[in-house]
Amino acid sequence: MTSKYQWNNIFLTLIAIVLFIFPFVADSRTWTILLTQIFIFSILAMSYDILLGYTGIVSFGHAMFFGMGAYTTAVMLDRMEPTIGVFVLSIATGMLLAGAVSFIVGLMTLRLKSHFFAMLTLAVSGLFLVLAEKWRTLTSGNDGFTFRAPEFFKDRMVFYLVTLVCLVVVYLLLRRFVQSPMGHVLVAVRENEQRTKSLGFKTLHYKVIASVVAGVVASLAGSLYAVSLRFVNTSVLTMDITLDALLMTIIGGVGTLIGPIIGAGVIELSQHYLSGLAKEYPIFERWIIFFGIVYILAVIFFPSGIVGTVRQALHKRKKPAVLEKSSSGTEGL
């Protein structure tokens, strides 16, 4: 077990090193931007998986935390001054805001059964979207606004490295989180909330903690996203963002941290490739439909996603499949 775990670590470290060296070796603007995008969405998808994969909660409102981060950073950089200091401060503010909102919303709604919770998160994030559209003095509504990013990020490569560092740090922190006793309780909640409750755990508290962690991390992803575009509009709060996180998590592999990262890579890359094809074949303008179909098939046939399925194939034994009712622990890979 230990050797396998170490092997995993070596492997991941190698990949991280390659990614760090990459921009120095390959001078490709397209790839730098694409990979930056992948890192940002990896962070978002990992945060989503804390809810879906580790705690077994389906939220349809994750975009609101992403959007909170994006707007906080955009507004602060725009209204104050485009410096690193303000950037860091805006990230902290966004996280604080997202943490507070997810705490309050979670406390009120996580008691509800899965259907109701999914529906309510859909509505609450809809409210935030409406708010952003109406509060034009702050957000400029659907038109959005451009703003200046800190001078330091002018070089795409620097921003690439910053997002990569963020990704690695978030990954390591979340891994500690899911491997901590707290993380094990979350998995227990996912497997059987009633039983966990009867063992004396206040499951609502744990679910709220999971939702705060997920909200805070999503807000970080939103902040980085806004800076990467130097523009923000209400699209950061739409269902599409939640759907992206959902697709990446499901296709990559729920209940793991590496799964969402792979999912983000697969989806961003194929999106890039497919929209390239769209110039020749208009059908590919609707590339999302392919993901929709793959996603449905994944939910039915490969509920443990790419990572889970590969692992099962490698280990030749039944491994936890979060979406299945089977139960056993989950490694925090």
Partner 1 sequence: MELLLNLMINGLATGMLIFLLAAGLTLIFGLMDVLNFAHGGLFAWGAYSSVWFYALTDSFVVAILGAIVTGIILGFITEKLIITPVYGNHIQQILITLGFMLVLTELLKVVFGPNQIPAKTPPYLAGSWEIGDVIIIKYRVFIIVVGFLIFGIFQYILKKTKIGLIVRAGVMNKEMVQTLGINIKNVFLYVFIAGAALAALGGALMAPYSGVIYAEMGMEFAILGFIVVVIGGMGSFPGSLLAAILVGLAGSFMAYYVPSLSLAVNMMLMAVVLIFRPQGLFKAKG
Partner 2 sequence: MNTMLKVDGVHTHIGQYHILQGISFEAKEGEVSVLLGRNGAGKTTTLKTILGLTPASKGIVTFKGQDITKKPTHGIANTGIGYVPEDQGIFGALTVEENMKVAMRKEDEVTLAKQDYVLNLFPDLKKFWKKDGGHLSGGQKQMLAMARAFVGNSQLLLIDEPSKGLAPIVIEKVMEAIMDMKKHTTIVLVEQNFMMASRIGDTYTLLDDGKTVQSGLMQELIQDEQVKRKYLGIG
Would you tell me which residues interact with partner 2 (CB under 8 A)?
A: 192, 325, 327
Among 69, 94, 260, 303, binds partner 1 (CB under 8 A): 303
DSSP 235: G
Q: What does each C-alpha distance from 106 to 59, 115, 118, 249, 293 come to in angstroms?
A: 10, 15, 12, 21, 31
85 binds partner 1 (CB under 8 A): no
* Whole-number Å distance between alpha carbons of 37 and 31: 10
Residue 60 contact, options partner 2, partner 1, none, Cβ 5-8 Å cut-off depending on partner type: partner 1
Binding mask 98-137 for partner 1 (x = CB under 8 A): ----------xx--xxxxx-xxx-xxx-xx--xx--x---
CA 50 to chain centre: 9
Residue 222 CB, shortest distance to partner 2, in Å, is 39
Residue 23 CB, shortest distance to partner 1, in Å, is 34
Contact 279, 267 (CB under 8 A): no
Among 300, 313, 316, 317, binds partner 1 (CB under 8 A): 300
Q: Exposure string (b/e) for 52-91, b if CB count within 10 Å is 16 or more?
A: bbbbbbebbbbbbbbbbbbbbbbbbbbeeebeeebbebbb
Residue 130 CB, shortest distance to partner 1, in Å, is 5
Contact 221, 69 (CB under 8 A): yes
* Residue closer to partner 2, measured from CB, 3 or 194: 194
Q: Which residues contact 11 (CB under 8 A, 6 or more apart)?
A: none
Question: Where in 269-298 is the site for partner 1 (CB under 8 A)?
Answer: 283, 285-286, 288-289, 291-293, 295-296
Q: Say whether 196 sits in a helix, a strand or coil.
A: helix
Residue 322 CB, shortest distance to partner 2, in Å, is 16
Residue 193 CB, shortest distance to partner 2, in Å, is 13
Q: What does each C-alpha distance from 14 to 8, 11, 204 come to in angstroms?
A: 10, 5, 39
Q: Which residues pair with 145 in a beta bridge?
A: 232
Binding mask 131-170 for partner 1 (x = CB under 8 A): x--x------------------------------------
Among 46, 86, 264, 323, binds partner 1 (CB under 8 A): 323
Contact 141, 234 (CB under 8 A): yes
246 binds partner 1 (CB under 8 A): yes
Task: List contacts with partner 1 (CB under 8 A).
Answer: 52, 56, 58, 60, 108-109, 112-116, 118-120, 122-124, 126-127, 130-131, 134, 239, 243, 246, 250, 283, 285-286, 288-289, 291-293, 295-296, 299-300, 303, 323-325
